[in-house]
C-alpha cells in the first residue's frame, strides 16, 4: 500500500500471529468494492473477455484504495461461463492488474453464487488469521461465451490426435459429417432437466401463484431504486466505467407499470397456465465483473482504509429440484432460515435485505414461502411462519432486474452495495445495522450471508 | 505524460530540417530544459550581478546550495544563469549599470539558461508608496526584464522576483522562488514576476521532494494537465488523491494506478463534494494539506450566440464549485496546519479570448477569488495561488483549428512553442510546496511569454 | 402389461444353444429375404409361437459400447450395467427368435407397445453373461396381433435380469385370437413438467449405433417412409433409457421398471416430462413418469420405476 510514499511497507508492521491452535477468531471486514457497469449481452463489452473485465474491476479497486503493487493475502474470483483457456482466470487477471504479481489467487465456481461464495471463503480465511487481506470477485460474459465444437467433431479430433498412421488419421476424418461442424453454444438449461432457469422459475412462480402485476411492480421498484441511487451518487465509489459505459446498460429509469405490462411472456408458455414472466421481470443476459476488498480490522487500520461492514456468517443450501420436489431457485428459502436460526435473528432484525433478483418471481416466491405457515412448518420445520420482509428494506438501491446479472459478478455487486448502505446508515444514525444477502444459483443451490455495520 | 504532438518541434530534431528551417527564416524553437530529478540545477555557473549588499548575501546563499557562483563574468565562459539583484534601485539612473552589465554577458548564456531579476515592486502590497523616482526605477525593471526575456534564445528564460516590504533577498520564500525559476521546473515560465511577501519561514527539508508526506487532492485528474499535476506531486513526495467525474473513472483509475495514487470519482459540482474530498483524504492520510482545483470545462460560443446552459455550466464547474469546496475545506478541522490551495486560471482570464466569454469570466473570477482568499489562508499558515496556463499541448487544444493552433504555438510566445502539461504541473507543484513561502494570492502565468495578455 | 415373468425356462421349450451372439443386421437381412420368398411362393407362416428358448453363453460386454450408451442417454459412466443397457445386450438373442422361419409374424412392422424389466443385482461389465430369449403369449389386439418377447440374463448361474417386451404386429389378424374393441381414447391433460427433452433428427440413428437395433423406422426419414412412417421415430428403448438414466442415482441396483408407449415420437421432437418421486420414511421407493409433446400436448409414454 502506498500509504506512505517514503517506504513501500505499511506504517506499522502487523503483529506476529500466534500459533494456529491458539489464535482467536477475529473479524473480517468489507473495506470497499468496485465493479464495472454491467452491460447488456453483445453490447458495450462484446469484445471483452472475462479476463479483460475482471482485470478492469480489479484495477478500479486498486485505484480506489491505492493498492498499487500491494501483495494481497489472496484473491479469489470465478466465472460461470468459462473458456478452457481460462483455467487460471483470476491469476491471469491479477497478473495483468496493478496488484503485486506476488499475490496468490484461486478460482472458484458456484454458479450464480460464485461471487458471494468468494467473499465468504476469503472472509473465513481472514477470520482464522490465515490471511490479512483479500479480494473477492466474479465475472461473466455472455457475449464472449465459450462455444464448443460438436460431440462428433470433438470425438474425431481426439481420435485424430491419438492416430499414428496416415491411414488411421484418414479413418478418423472419414467419420466426420457436415453436421459435426456446427458449433454448440452454451445454454442456461439445467443438464438434468433440460429446462432453462426461466422455465424452472415459471413452474415455481405458477406454483406459488405469483401474479404478473406483483412481478412487474418488483421490476419497476428495482429500476426506480437503481436510478435513484445513481442520481444521488451512491455508485460513485462502487463503479468504475469501462469501455465507455458509465451506468448499467440495462437500467431503464423511465420504465413504468404500463410499459412492463405490454411485454409478452417469454417463460412458461407451455405450462397450460397463464404465463407471467416477461423480459421485463426477468434478468437479461449481461456482461460484467465485480470485486470486493476484504481485510482484518488490523489491516484496515494499519493502511488507513475504511471499514464498512463485518462479514458475520453465511449458509449455503441446496434443494432437490430434479424431479420437481422443490423449485430450482428456492434454495435461499432454506438457507436464510437456517442462518437466522444459528444467529438468533429474525427477518425484522435486518435493516437491509438484498435478495438477488434472478427473476422477480424468484424474490416473490422466497418472500411468499417465508410468509407461508404451510411451507415453514412442512419444509422448514418451524412452528410459525418465518415472517415478512419490509419492502422498504428490500433491494433499496435496485438489484439484478435493473442492473443486470453477469452470473459470477452479482455476489460482489450485492456485498459491496449492502456494506456501503450499512456504513452510510451507521454514519447517519450512529447505530450498527444488519444486512442480509441472499443469492440463488443454478443446480438448485442458494447462499445467504449476514453483514453488520462496523 | 501524454501530450498532443508538436510534430514541427519533433521534425526540428532532425539537423537537416533544422538547417532548412533556419534558411527559410522559420522559427527554430528549442527543446526546453525541463526538470529531471538528479540533473544539476543549472547548465553552468551562476552569475550574480548587483552592487548592493543583497547581491553579496544572495551570492553566499547560492554558494551554500553548492552552485558555482560568479560575481563577474569570465569572458567566453558559458553561464548557466544570471541573477540580477536590483532591489536597491532608487532612481531611473540606477538601472543603467546593471542593465548594461547584463547585456554584456547575455551571449554567454547557455541554452536553457536562466535570468532572474530580484527587485522591489513599485507599489508594495501594504504600507506607504515609494517615492516617484524609486517607483519609476522599480517599475523600469519590469520592462527591462520582459524585454530581455524576448531577446533570449535556445530555451533560455527570464523572470523576476519582487520583494515585498520587509522581505529581504535571502528570505526562505525568495530562495525558494529563485530555485524554482533557475531550475528546469520553470521551463515554460517566461517573462513573469513572483511577488514574495512575508512568509512563515518554513522551507522544504528536501528540495527535490518539496511536498513529501503531504496529502494532496487534484481535481480533473483523469487526463491532461490534471494527470500531470498528480504525477508531479507524487514525484515530489505527496500522497495523492486524484478526482474526476464518475464518467471519467476508467482513465482516472489508470492515472491512479500508474502514479500510485487513490482515485475518487466525484462530480465536484455536487454540494457535498468538499465533504467527500475531506472524508477521503482524511480517511486515507489523516488530513488534507494540498488542494489543486484543476477541474474545468469549456463551452465556447460567441457571446451573441451564448445560451444559459453553456454559461452556467462553465461558471459552475470552473468557479462556483471551487468557492463552495474552499468554504467546506476552511470550515473543517481536517484541513492540515499549513494548507495550500492552487487554482487553475487561464491567460484567457487575463487577456480575454474571442468566443470564451464564459470561460474567461470564470477564470478571471478564479484570479479574484485567489487574491481575496489569500488573507484567510495566510491566517492558517497556508496560501492560495493560481496558475494561468497559456497554450498547452493537450487533448483540448488538439481540437483547435490547425491554423489557430500553429499561430498560438509559434507566433505568440517568446519560446516559439506550446507548453506541455508537465510545465503547468511543475508550477502548480511549486506553489503547493513550502518552497513558495510568502507567495500568496498570486497568479503565475505559464505561457512561454505569450503576447496574449502580456 | 401384467404378465410377470417367472424365473427359469418352461420345461417344454426346446433349448437352442447359439454358438455366439448373432449379428442383428444379418438376421434382419435374412428376415427380409424370407419374407420376400414367402410372398413369392405363397407359403404361409405357422399359427403358433415356436416353443424354443435361444441361449448364448459367455457373452462379454464391449466396454466402449457401454461407455457410448451411457453418454448417449445421459447416464454416468459406471462399471455396472444399466438395466436398459442389458436390454440391448439381449436384443440379438431376441432377434434370433423373431427371425426364425417358424416365427408366425412378419418382423418388419412389429411395434413395441410396452416393456417390463426386473433387475435383481448390479452386473459388472466384466462378468460373463448367459443370455436367453423366447416368445410367448400370442394374443389379439384391436389393431392386430400381440406377443411377449421374454429375455433373461444369468450370471454365475443365477438370474440377474429379466425383461418382457410386448410387441404388436399391426394389421396382422389371426383366426381364434380375440381382438377386442378399440378402447376409448383417454383424455390427457399434461401436468406441470419437470424436464424437457429436445430430440434431434439423428436421435434414432445415434441410438441404433449403440444399441445395435438397426430397425429402419429409427434410422432416417427415408428409411422410415419405406416402412410407411411419415418420419423416423425415436426408439422406445432410447426413451426408456433416458428416463432411467435420470433416476439411476436414486433407484439403486435392485429395481423393476415398466414403460408403455402411447404414441410414436416423430423426430425431431420436443418432449415435456414429469417425473415424480415417491418416498417412504425419507427413502425413495418409486418414480413415475409421463412424457408428452411439449406443443402437441399429446401423451407419448408413461411408466414407473420401483424398488424391489
pLDDT tens figures, A54-73? 999 999 999 999 999 999 99
Active site residue A454: no
Q: What is the pLDDT of residue B119?
A: 92
Interchain CB distance below 8 Å, A62 and B264: no
Taking CB atoms and an 8 Å cutoff, what residues of chain C touch A152? none
Q: What is the pLDDT of residues A295-350, one digit of tens each?
A: 999 999 999 999 999 999 999 999 999 988 999 999 999 999 999 999 999 999 99
Q: Which residue of B has its CA nearest to A237?
A: B265
Q: What is the pLDDT of residue B130?
A: 76
**No. of H helices and E strands in chain B?**
16, 13
Q: What is the pLDDT of residue A190?
A: 87
Q: How confident is the model at residue C2 (pLDDT cuts 50, 70, 90)?
A: very low
**A190: closest CA of chain B, how far (Å):** 37
Question: DSSP secondary structure string, B3-39?
Answer: ----HHHHHTTSHHHHHHHHHTT---PPPP----TTS
Q: Which of A407, A393, A442, A194 is nearest to A283 (CA)?
A: A407
Nearest to A236 among B239, B246, B260 (CB): B246
Active site residue A405: yes
What is the number of domains present in chain C? 1
**Higher-confidence residue: B432 or C108?**
B432
Q: Using the CB atoms, write b or e for C75-108: b if 16+ within 10 Å.
A: beeeebbbbbbbbbbbbbbbbbbbbbeebbbbbe
For A10, other C-beta atoms within 10 Å of its C-beta total: 16
**A367: closest CA of chain C, how far (Å):** 22
Q: Which residue of A has its CA nearest to C189?
A: A272
Q: What is the pLDDT of residues C241-299, one digit of tens each?
A: 999 998 887 888 899 999 999 999 999 999 999 999 998 888 899 999 999 999 999 99
Interchain CB distance below 8 Å, A324 and C274: yes
Residues of A with CB under 8 A from a CB of C: 179, 189, 191-195, 199, 203, 206-207, 270-272, 322-325
Interchain CB distance below 8 Å, A323 and C272: no
User: Is A201 an 8 Å CB contact of chain B?
Assistant: no
* C-alpha–C-alpha distance, residues A50 and A421, integer Å: 28
Taking CB atoms and an 8 Å cutoff, what residues of chain A touch C242? none
Nearest to A203 among C189, C192, C287 (CB): C192
Phi and psi, residue A197, nearest 5°: -60, -40
Q: What is the pLDDT of residues A256-273, one digit of tens each?
A: 999 999 999 999 887 777
Question: Cell match 502548480: residue?
Answer: B428
Q: What is the pLDDT of residue B435?
A: 92
At residue A86, the 3 state secondary structure works out as helix
Per-residue pLDDT tens, chain B, 454 aa: give them.
344 456 666 666 666 666 666 665 556 678 888 999 889 999 999 999 988 888 899 999 999 999 999 998 888 889 999 999 998 888 999 999 999 999 999 999 999 999 999 999 987 666 667 788 888 999 999 999 999 988 888 889 999 999 988 898 889 999 999 999 999 999 999 999 999 998 888 888 888 899 999 999 999 999 999 999 999 999 999 999 999 999 999 999 999 999 999 999 999 999 999 999 999 999 898 889 999 999 999 898 889 898 999 999 999 999 999 999 999 999 998 998 899 999 999 888 888 888 889 999 999 999 999 999 999 999 999 999 999 998 888 776 777 777 776 766 655 777 878 888 999 999 999 999 999 999 999 999 998 888 765 4
Q: What is the pLDDT of residue A271?
A: 75
* C-alpha–C-alpha distance, residues A229 and A398, integer Å: 8
Interchain CB distance below 8 Å, A63 and B253: yes
**A193: closest CA of chain C, how far (Å):** 4
**No. of H helices and E strands in chain A?**
14, 12
Q: How confident is the model at residue C1 (pLDDT cuts 50, 70, 90)?
A: very low
Q: Which among A365, A376, A440, A454 is annotated as catalytic? A: A440
- Quick check: do B46-196 and B215-446 share a fold? yes
Superfamily of domain B215-446: NAD(P)-binding Rossmann-like Domain (3.40.50.720)
Taking CB atoms and an 8 Å cutoff, what residues of chain B touch A68? 256-257, 260
Evaluate whether B246 touches A236 at the Cβ level (below 8 Å): yes
Q: Which among A223, A366, A405, A423 is annotated as catalytic? A: A405
Q: What is the pLDDT of residue C247?
A: 87
On the question of pLDDT at A144 being above 80, the answer is no
Interchain CB distance below 8 Å, A63 and B256: yes
Nearest to A304 among B247, B256, B283 (CB): B283
Q: Using the CB atoms, write b or e for A261-285: b if 16+ within 10 Å.
A: eebebbbbbbbeeebbbbebbbbbb
Interchain CB distance below 8 Å, C277 and A272: no
Find chains touching chain A: ≥3 CB pairs under 8 Å: B, C
Interchain CB distance below 8 Å, A323 and C276: yes
Please give the interface size between A and C, counted as residue pairs whose CB atoms are below 8 Å apart.
Answer: 46
Taking CB atoms and an 8 Å cutoff, what residues of chain B touch A59? 253-254, 257
User: Is C194 an 8 Å CB contact of chain A?
Assistant: yes
pTM: 0.86
Highest-confidence segment of A107-121, A176-190, B378-392, B413-427? A107-121
**C192: closest CA of chain A, how far (Å):** 6
The alpha-helical segments, DSSP class H, found in B266-413 are 273-285, 308-315, 321-330, 348-351, 357-379, 395-398, 402-406
User: Is C209 an 8 Å CB contact of chain A?
Assistant: no
Q: What is the pLDDT of residues C126-174, one digit of tens each?
A: 999 999 999 999 999 998 999 999 999 999 999 999 999 999 988 888 8
Which residues of B are known catalytic residues? 359
Q: Over range A21-25, report the average pLDDT.
A: 80
DSSP state of C227: T
At residue C217, the 3 state secondary structure works out as helix
Nearest to B257 among A3, A62, A305 (CB): A62
Q: What is the pLDDT of residues C192-218, one digit of tens each?
A: 999 999 999 888 888 988 888 877 778
Q: What is the pLDDT of residue A10?
A: 45
Interchain CB distance below 8 Å, C276 and A322: no
Q: Which residue of B has its CA nearest to A100?
A: B257
Taking CB atoms and an 8 Å cutoff, what residues of chain A touch C202? 179
User: Is A235 an 8 Å CB contact of chain B?
Assistant: yes
Which ipTM did the prediction report? 0.84
Sorted by sequence, the CB contacts under 8 Å of residue A9 that are 6+ apart come out as none
Q: Which among A112, A365, A376, A454 is annotated as catalytic? A: A112
* C-alpha–C-alpha distance, residues B449 and B415, integer Å: 7
**Whether B and C touch (3+ CB pairs < 8 Å), yes or no:** no
Interchain CB distance below 8 Å, C196 and A195: yes
Joined together, the cell numbers standing for residue A1 give 500500500
Superfamily of domain B46-196: NAD(P)-binding Rossmann-like Domain (3.40.50.720)
Q: Which residue of C has its CA nearest to A179?
A: C202
Taking CB atoms and an 8 Å cutoff, what residues of chain A touch B253? 59-60, 62-64, 240
Interchain CB distance below 8 Å, B285 and A304: yes
Question: DSSP secondary structure string, B115-180?
Answer: EEEEE--SS-SSSPPPPHHHHHHHHHHHHHHHHHHHH--TT-EEEEEEEPTT--TTSHHHHHHHHH
* C-alpha–C-alpha distance, residues A194 and C196, integer Å: 5
Taking CB atoms and an 8 Å cutoff, what residues of chain A touch C277? 323, 325
Question: Cell match 469501462: residue?
Answer: A242
Q: What is the pLDDT of residue C174?
A: 82
The residues spanned by each domain of chain B are 46-196, 215-446
Count CA within 13 A, CB hemisphere, residue C54.
23
Q: Residue C278's domain is classified under what CATH number?
A: 3.10.129.10
User: Is A306 an 8 Å CB contact of chain B?
Assistant: yes
Q: How confident is the model at residue A5 (pLDDT cuts 50, 70, 90)?
A: very low
Residues of B with CB under 8 A from a CB of A: 212-213, 234, 237-239, 246-250, 252-257, 260-267, 270, 283-286
On the question of pLDDT at A3 being above 80, the answer is no
Q: What is the pLDDT of residue B26?
A: 58
Active site residue A376: no
| Length of chain B (residues) | 454
**A64: closest CA of chain C, how far (Å):** 47
Interchain CB distance below 8 Å, B266 and A236: yes
Amino acid at each position: 500500500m502506498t500509504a506512505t510514499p517514503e517506504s513501500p511497507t505499511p506504517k506499522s508492521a502487523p503483529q506476529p500471529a500466534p500459533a494456529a491452535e491458539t489464535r482467536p477468531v477475529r473479524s473480517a471486514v468489507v473495506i470497499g468494492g468496485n465493479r464495472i457497469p454491467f452491460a447488456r449481452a453483445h453490447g458495450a463489452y462484446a469484445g471483452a473477455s472475462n479476463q479483460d473485465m475482471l482485470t478492469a474491476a480489479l484495477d478500479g479497486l486498486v485505484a480506489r484504495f491505492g493498492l498499487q503493487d500491494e501483495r494481497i493475502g489472496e484473491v479469489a474470483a470465478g466465472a460461470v461461463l468459462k473458456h478452457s483457456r481460462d483455467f487460471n482466470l483470476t491469476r491471469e487477471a491479477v497478473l495483468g492488474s496493478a496488484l503485486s504479481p506476488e499475490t496468490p489467487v484461486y478460482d472458484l465456481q458456484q454458479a450464480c453464487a460464485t461471487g458471494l461464495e468468494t467473499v465468504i471463503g476469503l472472509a473465513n480465511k481472514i477470520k482464522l488469521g490465515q490471511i490479512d487481506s483479500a479480494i473477492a470477485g466474479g465475472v461473466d460474459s455472455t457475449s464472449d461465451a465459450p462455444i464448443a465444437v460438436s460431440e462428433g467433431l470433438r470425438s474425431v479430433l481426439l481420435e485424430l490426435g491419438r492416430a499414428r498412421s496416415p491411414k488411421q488419421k484418414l479413418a478418423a476424418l472419414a467419420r466426420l459429417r457436415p453436421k459435426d461442424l456446427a458449433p454448440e453454444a452454451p445454454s442456461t438449461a439445467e443438464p438434468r432437466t433440460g429446462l432453462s432457469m426461466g422455465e424452472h422459475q415459471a413452474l415455481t412462480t405458477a406454483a406459488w401463484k405469483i401474479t404478473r402485476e406483483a412481478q412487474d411492480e418488483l421490476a419497476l421498484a428495482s429500476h426506480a431504486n437503481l436510478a435513484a441511487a445513481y442520481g444521488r451518487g451512491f455508485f460513485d465509489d462502487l463503479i468504475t466505467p469501462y469501455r465507455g459505459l458509465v451506468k448499467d446498460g440495462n437500467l431503464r429509469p423511465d420504465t413504468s407499470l404500463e410499459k412492463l405490462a405490454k411485454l409478452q411472456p417469454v417463460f412458461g408458455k407451455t405450462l397450460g397456465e397463464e404465463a407471467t414472466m416477461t423480459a421485463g421481470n426477468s434478468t437479461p443476459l449481461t456482461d460484467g465483473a465485480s470485486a470486493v476488498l476484504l481485510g482484518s480490522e488490523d489491516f484496515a487500520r494499519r493502511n488507513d482504509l475504511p471499514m464498512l461492514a463485518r462479514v458475520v456468517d453465511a449458509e449455503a443450501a441446496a434443494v432437490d429440484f430434479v424431479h420437481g420436489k422443490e423449485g430450482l431457485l428456492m434454495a435461499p428459502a432454506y438457507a436464510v432460515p437456517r442462518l437466522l436460526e444459528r444467529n438468533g435473528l429474525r427477518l425484522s432484525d435486518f435493516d437491509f435485505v438484498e435478495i438477488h433478483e434472478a427473476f422477480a418471481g424468484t424474490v416473490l416466491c422466497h418472500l411468499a414461502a417465508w410468509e407461508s405457515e404451510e411451507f415453514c412448518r412442512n419444509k422448514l420445520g418451524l412452528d410459525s411462519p418465518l415472517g415478512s420482509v419490509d419492502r422498504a428494506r428490500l433491494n433499496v438501491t435496485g438489484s439484478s432486474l435493473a442492473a443486470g446479472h453477469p452470473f459470477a459478478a452479482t455476489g460482489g455487486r450485492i456485498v459491496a452495495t449492502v456494506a456501503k448502505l450499512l456504513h452510510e446508515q451507521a454514519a447517519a444514525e450512529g447505530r450498527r445495522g444488519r444486512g442480509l444477502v441472499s443469492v440463488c444459483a443454478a443446480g438448485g443451490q442458494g447462499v445467504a450471508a449476514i453483514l453488520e455495520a462496523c | 505524460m501524454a501530450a498532443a504532438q508538436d510534430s514541427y518541434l519533433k521534425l526540428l530534431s532532425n539537423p537537416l530540417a533544422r538547417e532548412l528551417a533556419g534558411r527559410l527564416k522559420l522559427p527554430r524553437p528549442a527543446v526546453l530544459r525541463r526538470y529531471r530529478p538528479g540533473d544539476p540545477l543549472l547548465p553552468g555557473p551562476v552569475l550574480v550581478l548587483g552592487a548592493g549588499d543583497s547581491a553579496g548575501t544572495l551570492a553566499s546563499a547560492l554558494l551554500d546550495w553548492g552552485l558555482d557562483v560568479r560575481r563577474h563574468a569570465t569572458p567566453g565562459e558559458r553561464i548557466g544563469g544570471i541573477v540580477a539583484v536590483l532591489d536597491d534601485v532608487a532612481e531611473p539612473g540606477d538601472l543603467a549599470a546593471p542593465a548594461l552589465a547584463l547585456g554584456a554577458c547575455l551571449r554567454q548564456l547557455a541554452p536553457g539558461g536562466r535570468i532572474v531579476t530580484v527587485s522591489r515592486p513599485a507599489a508594495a502590497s501594504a504600507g506607504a508608496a515609494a517615492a516617484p523616482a524609486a517607483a519609476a526605477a522599480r517599475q523600469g525593471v519590469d520592462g527591462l526584464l520582459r524585454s530581455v526575456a524576448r531577446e533570449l534564445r535556445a530555451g533560455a528564460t527570464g523572470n523576476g522576483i519582487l520583494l515585498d516590504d520587509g522581505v529581504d533577498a535571502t528570505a526562505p520564500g525568495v530562495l525558494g522562488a529563485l530555485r524554482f525559476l533557475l531550475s528546469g521546473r520553470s521551463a515554460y515560465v517566461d517573462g513573469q514576476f513572483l511577488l514574495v511577501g512575508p512568509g512563515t519561514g518554513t522551507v522544504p527539508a528536501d528540495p527535490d521532494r518539496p511536498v513529501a508526506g503531504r496529502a494532496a487532492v487534484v481535481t480533473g485528474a483523469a487526463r491532461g494537465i490534471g494527470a500531470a499535476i498528480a504525477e508531479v506531486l507524487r514525484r515530489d513526495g505527496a500522497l495523492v488523491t486524484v478526482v474526476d467525474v464518475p464518467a471519467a473513472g476508467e482513465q482516472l483509475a489508470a492515472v491512479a494506478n500508474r502514479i500510485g495514487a487513490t482515485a475518487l470519482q466525484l462530480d465536484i459540482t455536487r454540494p457535498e463534494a468538499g465533504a467527500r474530498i475531506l472524508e477521503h483524504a482524511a480517511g486515507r492520510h489523516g488530513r488534507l494539506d494540498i488542494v489543486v482545483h484543476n477541474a474545468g470545462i469549456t463551452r465556447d460560443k460567441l457571446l451573441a450566440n451564448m445560451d444559459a446552459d453553456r454559461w452556467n455550466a462553465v461558471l459552475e464547474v470552473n468557479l462556483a464549485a471551487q468557492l463552495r469546496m474552499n468554504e467546506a475545506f476552511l470550515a473543517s478541522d481536517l484541513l492540515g496546519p499549513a494548507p495550500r490551495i492552487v487554482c487553475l486560471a487561464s491567460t484567457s482570464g487575463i487577456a480575454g479570448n474571442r468566443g470564451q466569454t464564459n470561460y474567461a469570466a470564470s477564470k478571471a473570477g478564479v484570479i479574484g477569488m485567489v487574491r481575496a482568499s489569500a488573507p484567510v489562508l495566510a491566517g492558517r499558515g497556508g496560501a492560495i495561488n493560481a496558475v494561468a496556463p497559456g497554450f498547452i499541448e493537450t487533448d483540448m487544444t488538439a481540437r483547435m483549428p490547425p491554423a489557430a493552433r500553429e499561430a498560438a504555438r509559434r507566433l505568440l510566445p517568446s519560446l516559439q512553442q506550446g507548453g506541455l502539461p508537465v510545465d503547468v504541473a511543475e508550477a502548480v507543484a511549486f506553489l503547493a510546496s513550502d518552497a513558495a513561502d510568502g507567495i500568496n494570492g498570486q497568479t503565475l502565468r505559464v505561457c512561454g511569454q505569450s503576447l496574449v495578455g502580456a | 402389461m401384467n404378465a410377470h415373468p417367472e424365473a427359469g425356462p418352461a420345461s417344454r421349450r426346446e433349448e437352442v444353444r447359439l454358438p455366439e451372439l448373432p449379428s442383428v443386421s444379418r438376421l434382419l437381412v435374412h428376415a427380409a429375404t424370407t419374407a420376400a420368398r414367402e410372398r413369392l411362393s405363397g407359403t404361409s407362416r405357422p399359427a403358433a409361437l415356436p416353443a424354443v428358448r435361444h441361449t448364448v453363453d459367455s457373452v462379454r460386454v464391449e466396454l466402449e459400447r457401454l461407455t457410448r450408451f451411457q453418454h448417449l442417454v445421459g447416464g454416468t459412466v459406471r462399471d455396472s450395467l444399466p438395466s436398459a443397457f442389458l436390454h440391448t445386450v439381449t436384443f440379438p438373442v431376441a432377434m434370433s427368435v423373431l427371425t426364425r422361419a417358424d416365427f408366425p409374424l412378419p418382423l418388419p412392422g412389429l411395434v413395441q407397445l410396452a416393456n417390463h424389466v426386473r433387475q435383481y443385482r448390479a452386473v459388472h461389465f466384466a462378468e460373463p453373461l448367459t443370455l436367453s430369449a423366447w416368445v410367448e403369449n400370442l394374443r389379439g389386439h384391436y389393431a392386430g396381433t400381440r406377443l411377449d418377447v421374454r429375455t433373461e440374463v444369468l450370471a454365475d448361474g443365477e438370474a440377474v435380469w429379466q425383461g418382457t417386451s410386448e410387441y404388436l404386429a399391426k394389421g396382422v389378424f389371426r383366426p381364434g385370437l380375440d381382438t377386442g374393441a378399440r378402447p376409448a381414447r383417454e383424455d390427457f391433460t399434461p401436468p406441470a413438467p419437470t424436464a424437457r427433452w429436445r430430440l434431434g433428427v439423428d436421435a434414432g440413428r445415434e441410438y441404433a449405433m449403440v444399441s445395435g437395433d438397426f430397425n429402419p423406422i429409427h434410422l432416417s426419414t427415408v428409411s422410415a417412409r419405406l416402412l410407411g412412417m411419415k418420419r423416423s421415430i425415436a426408439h422406445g428403448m432410447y426413451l426408456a433409457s433416458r428416463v432411467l438414466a435420470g433416476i439411476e442415482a436414486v433407484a439403486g441396483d435392485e429395481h423393476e421398471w415398466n414403460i408403455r408407449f402411447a404414441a410414436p415420437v416423430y423426430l425431431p421432437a420436443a418432449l415435456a416430462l414429469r417425473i415424480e418421486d415417491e418416498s417412504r420414511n425419507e427413502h425413495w421407493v418409486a418414480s413415475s413418469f409421463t412424457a408428452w409433446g411439449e406443443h402437441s400436448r399429446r401423451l407419448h409414454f408413461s411408466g414407473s420405476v420401483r424398488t424391489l
